[in-house]
Amino acid sequence: MSRNVVVIGTQWGDEGKGAIVDLLAERAHAVVRFQGGHNAGHTLVIDGERTVLHLIPSGILRSGVVCLIGNGVVLSLEALVEEMDRLAEKGVPVDDRLRLSPACPLILSSHKALDHARERALGSEAIGTTGRGIGPAYEDKVARRAVRLADLFEPEQLRERLADLLDLHNFLLQRYYSAEPVSLEEELQRLAGFFARVKPLIADVPELLRKMQSAERSVLFEGAQGALLDIDLGTYPFVTSSNTTVGGAATGTGMGPAPIDCVLGIVKAYTTRVGAGPFPTELFDDMGRHLAQVGAEFGSTTGRPRRCGWFDAVALRRAAFTNSLTGLSVTKLDVLDGLDEVKICTGYRLDGEILDTPPLLMDRYGECEPVYECMPGWREPTSGKTAFSDLPREARDFLRRIEEEVEIPVDIVSTGPGREAVIIRRHPFDPDQDSNT
């Protein structure tokens, strides 16, 4: 039986989506990225070897799996080619497995320059972007002035469109930010070199998906970042520039939402955030430092340390609704091993009231104080466990409490960074088979 599964991060990103996508790709015919850019960082650990992907879907290490980059992704050709070359050096036949939508907007050198210039100008009010040009590229897409991958097929049209765009970008860089301009000729030369490398990989992604649907092939849709960074539904303005929620799977690939059978929400057993922005359960004490150290909480893309805090069920309840979650995958449970107690935020205190949902005005999110439910921790290690029944009773109780708070079943539990360190209670591609109750 074929199924279409969407994997969504439900916090502020960095939930461990890459490892789960790699695991599920074993039963998929295709893996599709539908939003974001090379600001994503998905880490895979297979047989002890660590692979970090930024643009290429996390199914690329699986033979027989087609990896598609949909139109919702803003594409840095330089980053893509570098990533392809690194995989090829490891013996991965990336050219055989990867296909690109011609409708992808391109990230130009000027986008990156604008990103850095804006963050510098904002100073202490900076958003905390990755500085990779993602936001400016999406701005041009929405303004209908983007250079897209398809434009590279027509050199004269490309020159005209790029010249117009660089006129605007360079005006801003020089006159507003006192930064260096970007050369039209140098940018054309750069794009031409990268285009020669990726041209054979360009394909009609909606048509490929239509054929897979007709042939009853299973497809896995991979999101980047997390639901709380959604441009519309996240902690605005401290968000990314795309729709990280499940609706992006449709608009970012060209496949309508009706064929989606399952939406799996990835959530850490605690909460982290990179960059600026509100974070109600953030810890500033030794416990926060402990979670960061044991969880190796540094950004896969930027290397920046992640802010750490207790599990936030309030935020997860909202993500469960906005993404129509059908199941949860709880990652990094092993990071909580050995703690005397663990906490779940079940509400927010704001203006003397207890809220069980985020505040109506999102700019007040940072004023919310967490209301915690304390639960006993566990001494017996969970690391490497592959059966739910083998987990310590307290760990099982913790997971069941999460299920009760959000009314979504925990289908998968990750107990370590490796592909084999996982408990599958209900498989998204085979929901009728319960292997760990």
Tell how strand 353-355 and strand 410-414 pair up: unpaired
DSSP letter, residue 173: I
φ and ψ of 350, to 5 deg: -145, 125
- CA distances, 234 to each of 33, 38, 194, 318 (Å): 20, 20, 34, 10
What is the C-alpha separation between 431 and 331, in angstroms, rounded?
19
- Single out the catalytic residue among 14, 115, 151, 334: 14
What is the C-alpha separation between 412 and 33, in angstroms, rounded?
21
Q: Alpha helices, DSSP H only, in 147-237?
A: 155-171, 184-198, 205-214
Nearest CA-CA partner of 15 in 317, 322, 335, 370: 335
- Pair of tokens at residue 347: 């509400």
φ and ψ of 43, to 5 deg: -105, 130
**Half-sphere exposure at residue 268, Cβ-oriented, CA atoms within 13 angstroms:** 26
Q: Where are the beta strands (DSSP E) in 214-319?
A: 219-222, 262-268, 271-273, 307-309, 311-312
What is the C-alpha separation between 245 and 57, in angstroms, rounded?
17
Look up 42 and say whether it is catalytic. Answer: yes
Nearest CA-CA partner of 30 in 238, 208, 229: 208
What is the C-alpha separation between 110 and 173, in angstroms, rounded?
8
8 Å CB contact between 338 and 418? no
For the stretch 139-145, contacts whose Cβ atoms lie closer than 8 Å and that sit 24 or more positions apart, written own/partner, are 139/241, 140/105, 140/111, 140/165, 141/74, 141/105
3-state SS, residue 126: coil
8 Å CB contact between 238 and 23? no
- Single out the catalytic residue among 22, 38, 42, 230: 42
8 Å CB contact between 226 and 244? yes
Residue type at position 35: Q
Residue indicated by tokens 């940072």: 366
Look up 38 and say whether it is catalytic. Answer: no
Residue type at position 284: F
DSSP β-bridge partners for residue 202? 100
Catalytic residues: 14, 42
